[in-house]
């Protein structure tokens, strides 16, 4: 019985030591990342501030989380149902297109709405817009 108590106490002590060491290592990594690229953390802080200040769902959807998207592009939201991809305007929820994959959905949406640019972050860089 005494060995079980000692084993439980030993495991508890090891757990708390691991928690303390892990917390210190995480703090060190965060501080190192901030020191290496402070501009990235400033941009992230600004985006978080915009998200926190957004009061409606529409405003939250309109915030450009991916800064690599072209400013004039319509952000697409997709869902897959029974092997088909359905693409919607992320801000308004308007249906844009239906296809077998996201790349086709972007192409079809650009054909349906000539002169408009569509963007989805999951596509490869050279296929993100159409």
Q: Are residues 6 and 54 both part of a single domain?
A: yes
Q: Are residues 54 and 73 both part of a single domain?
A: no
User: What's the whole-model pTM score?
Assistant: 0.45
Q: Extract the tokens encoding 10.
A: 């030993």
* pLDDT tens string 6-63: 999 999 999 999 999 999 999 998 888 888 888 888 888 888 887 777 766 656 565 5
* pLDDT tens string 19-29: 999 999 999 98
* 125 burial type by CB count under 10 A (0-12 exposed, 13-18 middle, 19+ buried): exposed
pLDDT cut 90: percent of the chain above it: 16
Picking from 36, 32, 116, 26, the residue whose alpha carbon sits closest to that of residue 74 is: 116
Q: Are residues 18 and 54 both part of a single domain?
A: yes
Q: What is the pLDDT of residue 20?
A: 93
Count of the separate structural domains present in the chain:
2
- Tell me, what DSSP letter sits at residue 129? B
Q: Are residues 53 and 10 both part of a single domain?
A: yes
Q: Are residues 118 and 73 both part of a single domain?
A: yes
Residue 49 gets the label, from left (phi > 0), alpha (psi -120 to 50) or beta, of alpha
Q: Are residues 78 and 121 both part of a single domain?
A: yes
Could you list the residue range(s) of the whole structural domain that residue 97 is in?
68-127
Q: Which of 59, 83, 98 is the last residue of a domain?
A: 59
Q: Are residues 24 and 72 both part of a single domain?
A: no
């Amino acid at each position: 019985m005494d060995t079980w108590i000692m084993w439980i106490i030993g495991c508890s002590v090891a757990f708390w030591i691991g928690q303390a060491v892990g917390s210190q290592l995480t703090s060190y990594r965060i501080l190192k990342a901030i020191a290496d690229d402070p501009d990235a953390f400033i941009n992230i802080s600004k985006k978080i501030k915009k998200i926190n200040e957004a009061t409606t769902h529409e405003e939250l959807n309109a915030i450009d989380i991916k800064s690599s998207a072209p400013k004039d592009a319509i952000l697409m939201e997709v869902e897959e149902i029974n092997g088909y991809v359905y693409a919607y305007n992320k801000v308004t929820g308007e249906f844009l297109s239906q296809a077998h994959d996201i790349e086709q959905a972007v192409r079809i949406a650009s054909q349906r709405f000539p002169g408009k640019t569509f963007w989805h972050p999951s596509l490869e860089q050279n296929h993100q817009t159409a």
